[in-house]
Amino acid sequence: MPVVDIKEMLQHAYQNGYAVGAFDLVSLEFLEGIIEAAERCRSPVIVSLAESHFEHYDFELLTTAAEAAAQRSSVPVAIFLDHGAGLDSAVRAINGGCNGVMVDASHHPLPDNIALTRQVVEMAHSCGVPVEGELGYVPGVEGEDAERHPGEISYTTVAEACTYLQQTEVDFLAVSIGTVHGRMNGCPELDIGRLAEINRALRIPLVIHGGTGLSDEQFRQLIENGVAKINYYTALSDAAAQQIRANTGAGPGGYTQLTRGVSDSVRAECERCMRLWRSAGQADAVLQSCTPWRMVEHLIIYNVSGIDEEQARRMAAEGRRILGQIPGVRHVLTGEAVKQDAKYRFCWLIRFVHEKVIDSYRDHPDHVRFADELFRPVAGDRISIDYELVR
Ligand code: 13P
């Protein structure tokens, strides 16, 4: 299962002088194109889901598809929440299958950015999930003309970056050094000197947003100065749109005719980036040096006493509702033995996204309340074991 720990993936890139593409997807065609590009280039890859795009697709469905695509691919993949607004978004992403999250509170004043980011870091780290924060402001909107959103760039300063890192403990930092989200006329001017200073001061993988439209030389300089993750979307969206326009020109056709070739056009652009950013050819080294992302099954088999079977079913339903909301819980299944004479009549199968959730789940107030008030008093006869899952 080549979903890998994204912190280790980006450390590898940072130490070996290349950057991993974090490509935003908005459809299955994008997902197929991105993964196919990574396979062809033997490159690690981050499939990224931006909260601003959630109005265009069902987040849980597309993340599940991304997870399935990652599991059957032969290159290391991470699944990432891009531009999450805060704690609720991060919990939803982690429970939905992302193994890395970004919290973007960069439009808030520094103390508020720090407070919000810190909240997300505490929760995510208790689930084993690394966090990207952003400091300084990168204007524009992915997929749109940059001049339609002419916000002022606010540059990241070295002093603020040091304070921010120390107080939030983010794993990666998105910096603002002149890039802009979206489609631009010409290249933006980048403050590479500032980037170099931030890199010398922080020594953690840095992230660039607004990758579309930068020159080959600019990418080279970014990577030379600590950028290990490059966020990229508008160019993929434009390549897909161009393909659809070409298909339209070929005469009347239905959906499948209109979208024919879209995943190939996304793939071609991703491949170009992977070779340019030198992540091409790194897949095997990353697989060897990074921990596979393994979920844990918290298994309980039990019998009840003092309540009847109908009451036991209601208790299980309440548990599915409450426990499924706890950070790091991928799903909660409950079951009843198929054979009446089984030694244990009932079970819980609670999927944790990471081994660390064993502790954070045990201590979470909602779990403690449910277990102490509803479950343990009636389920003294039980066996409980955590299993690490391998595919
Ligand atoms: P572009 O759309 O400019 O490539 O930026 C993408 C991005 O930064 C996503 O977070």
Among 20, 83, 103, 234, which residue has the most ligand 1 atoms within 8 Å of its CB, making it the best to mutate?
A: 234
Residue nearest ligand 1's atom 9 by CA: 231
Q: Which CATH number does the domain housing residue 113 bear? A: 3.20.20.70
197 within some domain: yes
Q: Is the pLDDT of residue 149 over 80?
A: no
Q: Can you give the pLDDT at residue 304?
A: 97
Q: Can you give the pLDDT at residue 1?
A: 55
Q: Examine the domain organization and report whether 215 and 336 are in the same domain.
A: no
Q: Is the pLDDT of residue 229 over 60?
A: yes
d(C-alpha 279, C-alpha 47), whole Å: 14
Q: Of 261, 289, 317, which marks where a domain is finished?
A: 289
Residue (of 336, 358, 355, 357) closest to 345 by Cα position: 336
- Whether residue 299 contacts residue 385, with contact meaning beta carbons closer than 8 Å, is answered with yes
At residue 59's C-alpha, the angle toward residues 53 and 60, to 5°, is 175
Q: Of 238, 272, 289, which marks where a domain is finished?
A: 289
Q: Examine the domain organization and report whether 259 and 352 are in the same domain.
A: no
| CA dihedral over 210, 211, 214, 220, signed as positive or negative | positive
1 within some domain: no
Residue nearest ligand 1's atom 8 by CA: 209
139 within some domain: yes
Q: Examine the domain organization and report whether 269 and 311 are in the same domain.
A: no
Q: Examine the domain organization and report whether 231 and 260 are in the same domain.
A: yes
Q: Examine the domain organization and report whether 161 and 193 are in the same domain.
A: yes
**What is the amino acid identity at position 300?**
I
180 within some domain: yes
Q: Examine the domain organization and report whether 341 and 231 are in the same domain.
A: no
Q: Which two tokens stand for residue 312?
A: 């036991």
Among 47, 53, 209, which residue has the most ligand 1 atoms within 8 Å of its CB, making it the best to mutate?
A: 209
Q: Examine the domain organization and report whether 183 and 326 are in the same domain.
A: no
Q: Examine the domain organization and report whether 176 and 262 are in the same domain.
A: yes
Q: Put the strands of the sheet holding 346-352 in their side by side order.
A: 329-336, 346-352, 296-303, 381-388
Q: Is the pLDDT of residue 144 over 80?
A: no
- From residue 332, alpha-carbon distances to 41, 106, 268, 351 in Å are 37, 35, 40, 6
pLDDT tens, 246-290?
999 887 789 999 999 999 999 999 999 999 999 999 999 999 999
10 within some domain: yes
Q: Which residues contact 29 (CB under 8 A, 6 or more apart)?
A: 240, 259, 262, 263, 266
Q: Of 269, 289, 309, which marks where a domain is finished?
A: 289
Among 54, 179, 232, 277, which residue has the most ligand 1 atoms within 8 Å of its CB, making it the best to mutate?
A: 232
Residue nearest ligand 1's atom 1 by CA: 210
Q: Examine the domain organization and report whether 271 and 322 are in the same domain.
A: no
By residue range, what is the domain housing residue 90?
Answer: 6-289
pTM: 0.95
- Higher pLDDT residue, 330 or 188? 330
Structural domain tally of the chain? 2
Give the helix/strand (H/E) hosting 102. Answer: strand 100-103
275 CA to centre of ligand 1 in angstroms? 18
Q: Examine the domain organization and report whether 32 and 100 are in the same domain.
A: yes
Q: Which CATH number does the domain housing residue 367 bear? A: 3.30.70.100
How many other CB atoms are found less than 10 A from the CB of residue 229? 30
Helices (H), 78-157: 87-96, 110-125
Q: Can you give the pLDDT at residue 314?
A: 97
Task: Please give the number of the atom of ligand 1 that sits closest to the Cα of 182.
Answer: 3
pLDDT tens, 84-143?
999 999 999 999 999 999 999 999 999 999 999 999 999 999 999 999 999 998 888 777
Q: Examine the domain organization and report whether 168 and 200 are in the same domain.
A: yes
Q: Mean pLDDT over residues 22-29, rounded? A: 97
276 within some domain: yes
**What is the amino acid identity at position 177?**
I
Over the range 121-149, which residues count as b (16 or more CB within 10 Å of their CB) and which as e?
A: bebbbbbbbbbbbbbbbbbbbbbeebeee
Q: Examine the domain organization and report whether 219 and 357 are in the same domain.
A: no
236 CA to centre of ligand 1 in angstroms? 10
The pocket around ligand 1, CB under 6 angstroms, is made up of 24, 50, 82-83, 142, 181-182, 209-212, 231-234
Q: Can you give the pLDDT at residue 140?
A: 81
Q: Is the pLDDT of residue 202 over 80?
A: yes
Out of 5, 24, 58, 82, which one is annotated catalytic? 82
- Higher pLDDT residue, 293 or 151? 293
Check if 82 is active-site.
yes
